[in-house]
């Protein structure tokens, strides 16, 4: 039976099509309304027009598809996000509805091959830690790139077992890191880590793991005199680190905690990492209440400094700015973008600045029950990623790292361990957990391109 020959035939479509048609009519109406009337919401500015105070969409301008996309972004980004205080809690709590949230993240394992066919691959992030004497992959005293404060052994940490664990995904094998294969993959390319000191932790680990595979370990040089851009001479590739605590722009005031975060403007250093072939972003811990309190006078959009803005709403807006930057400036054929998820902390009995400690832990937790609660930062990230055009690979290390309460520097971030006032239960000893993050990165870049 031939149905669609003339417009009137439309009316004879099978009734099961009607919901679809009605849905599209409704959807078009909503989009039309959004374009026509400004619903009085806060509209985010596009990162590239940061300095002007012109709203993203001027009513006098012609709508276009690009503008429509921007408008949808803006509506999405300005929607408030539900949050509650205490999201940095690392205390043990009951398993809640978080499980469903975790399950939703399975989408990160859906991959497309070159012809656009969808392949479901193994979930690398569910599994367990197993003892393996062939680890660590390098020795801390042999690697010049390990920061003093991550070099636990040199600072006197007596136990070594925490370096002898391998992450074993439940449903597949994680291939062992090969520095040579990684360097071949990186030949002529730039690998950049952009984020806070936890990304620096991971960057140093990557340098050590790659260096280990060189026959002549002196074939690494600083590029342009920078300590943070290292070039592997025989592979013409650079491994770079850019400090960007918030990914968005920050106007420093006096003192370490007196600054404004410009939620609608990408970090000005973006010109330096733009064009790198693999970029690993992160941002999370600097959004904690210990740093930003209740969000008073620290967030700026356009010329306006908010007297008070919920920190999680601000976090999501900053992620939106980052996401729009990625969508606008990243050529997916040239650059692969990763976002490394929240790195768990293990302070007992307080926070980093109020006597929290993790000293004396020598074994990973073996019960999922002991894992920290699912942070709101992760929910915000999921929402924003869901809106993006450029595909972002999620390096979802949160859960696997949460087991590793034994792997932080604790007092061994300093050679005079006995005198330290504060323990470090946030960063990781090297060699250690960030090596595993890099094995996962290796897996995603070399084996599952
Ligand atoms: C080294 O890599 C850069 C890109 O990072 C490329 O422009 C340049 O041509 C390469 N040089 C050689 C000698 O291959
Ligand atoms: C290793 O590389 C350095 C720097 O390029 C060079 O000076 C040195 O001669 C090399 N050593 C060997 C054994 O090839
Ligand atoms: C190093 O400096 C040169 C010239 O000053 C510049 O063109 C190049 O982009 C710089 N490389 C990096 C990786 O910053
Ligand atoms: C923070 O910095 C601003 C601008 O530099 C200055 O006016 C203000 O007094 C500073 N506040 C504190 C508490 O230091």
Give yes or no for residue 236 CB within 6 A of ligand 4: no
Residue 369 placed within a domain:
yes
Asked if residue 271 belongs to a domain, the reply is yes
Taken as a whole, the chain contains a residue count of 449
Tokens 């990243």 locate to: 330
Q: Which ligand does the CA of 298 lie closest to? A: 4
Measured from the Cα of 258, ligand 4's closest atom is: 1
DSSP for 347-412, written as a single string: -BSS-TTTT-B-TT--S----GGGSPP--HHHHHHHHHHTT-SS-EEEE--HHHHHT-TT-S-BGG
Confidence label for 6 from pLDDT (cuts 50, 70 and 90): very low
In a domain, 49, yes or no: no
Bridge partner residues of 119 (DSSP): 111
Residue 332 resides in a domain: yes
Q: Is residue 119 part of a domain?
A: yes
Domain membership of residue 81 (yes or no) is: no
**pLDDT (tens digit per residue) in 54-81:** 333 333 344 455 566 666 776 777 654 4
Cα 385 to Cα 53, 320, 379, distances in angstroms: 27, 9, 10
Residue with tokens 């309190």, as numbered in its chain: 293
pLDDT, one tens digit per residue, over 197-251 is: 999 999 999 999 999 999 999 999 999 889 999 999 999 999 999 999 999 999 8
Alpha-carbon separation of residue 202 from 207, 397, 434 (angstroms): 9, 12, 5
What pTM was computed for the model? Answer: 0.78
Within a domain: 58: no
**Test site for ligand 2: of 211, 214, 215, 216, most ligand atoms within 8 A of the Cβ:** 216
Q: Whose CA is nearest to atom 5 of ligand 3?
A: 224
Residue 65 lies in a domain: no
Residues having CB closer than 6 A to ligand 2 are 216, 218-219
**Which protein residue's CA is at the shortest distance from atom 5 of ligand 2?**
219
Report the pLDDT value the prediction gives residue 99, as an integer from 0 to 100: 37
Number of domains in the chain: 1
Closest ligand to C-alpha of residue 220 is 2
Question: Catalytic positions, please?
Answer: 197, 424, 427
Q: What's the Cα-to-Cα distance from 13 to each of 22, 24, 70, 199, 326, rounded to whole Å? A: 13, 15, 35, 56, 42
The domain of 238 spans 99-446
Among all bound ligands, the one having the nearest atom to the CA of 229 is 3
Say if ligand 1 is within 6 A of residue 231 CB. no
Out of 252, 256, 258, give the residue to mutate to test ligand 4, the one with the largest number of ligand atoms within 8 Å of its CB.
Answer: 258
Atom of ligand 4 nearest to the CA of 255: 14
């Amino acid at each position: 039976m031939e149905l669609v020959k003339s417009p009137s035939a439309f009316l004879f479509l099978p009734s099961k099509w009607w919901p679809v048609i009605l849905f599209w009519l409704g959807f078009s109406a909503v989009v039309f309304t959004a374009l026509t009337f400004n619903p009085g919401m806060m509209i985010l500015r596009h990162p590239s027009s940061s300095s002007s105070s012109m709203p993203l969409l001027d009513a006098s301008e012609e709508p276009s598809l690009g503008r429509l996309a921007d408008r949808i972004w803006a509506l999405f980004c300005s929607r408030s996000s539900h949050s509650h205080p205490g999201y940095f809690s690392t205390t043990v709590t009951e398993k809640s509805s978080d499980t469903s949230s975790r399950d939703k993240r399975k989408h990160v394992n859906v991959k497309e091959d070159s012809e656009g066919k969808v392949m479901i691959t193994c979930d690398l992030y569910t599994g367990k830690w197993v003892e393996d004497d062939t680890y660590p992959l390098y020795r801390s005293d042999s690697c010049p790139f390990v920061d003093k404060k991550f070099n636990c052994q040199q600072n006197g940490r007596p136990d070594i077992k925490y370096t002898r664990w391998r992450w074993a995904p439940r449903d597949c094998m994680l291939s062992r890191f090969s520095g040579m294969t990684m360097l071949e993959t990186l030949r002529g390319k730039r690998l950049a880590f952009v984020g806070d000191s936890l990304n620096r932790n991971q960057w140093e680990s990557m340098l050590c793991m790659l260096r280990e595979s060189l026959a002549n370990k002196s074939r690494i040089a600083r590029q342009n005199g920078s300590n943070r851009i290292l070039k592997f001479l025989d592979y013409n590739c650079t491994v770079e680190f850019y400090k960007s605590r918030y990914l968005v722009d920050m106007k420093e005031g006096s003192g370490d905690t007196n600054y404004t975060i410009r939620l609608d403007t990408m970090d000005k250093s973006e010109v330096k990492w733009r064009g790198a072939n693999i970029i690993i972003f992160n941002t999370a811990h600097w959004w904690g209440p210990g740093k930003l309190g209740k969000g008073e006078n620290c967030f700026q959009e356009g010329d306006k400094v908010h007297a008070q803005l919920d920190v999680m709403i601000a976090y999501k807006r900053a992620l939106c700015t980052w996401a729009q930057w990625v969508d606008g400036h990243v050529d997916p054929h040239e650059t692969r973008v990763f976002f490394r998820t929240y790195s768990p902390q293990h302070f007992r009995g307080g926070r980093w600045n109020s006597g929290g400690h993790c000293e004396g832990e020598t074994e990973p937790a073996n019960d999922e029950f002991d894992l920290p609660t699912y942070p709101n930062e992760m929910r915000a990230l999921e929402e924003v990623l869901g809106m993006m055009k450029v595909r972002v690979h999620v390096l979802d290390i949160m859960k696997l790292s949460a087991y590793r309460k034994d792997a932080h520097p604790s007092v061994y971030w300093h050679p005079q361990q006995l005198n330290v006032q504060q323990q470090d239960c946030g960063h990781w000893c090297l060699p250690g957990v960030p090596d595993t993050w890099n094995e996962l990165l290796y897996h995603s870049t070399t084996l599952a391109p």
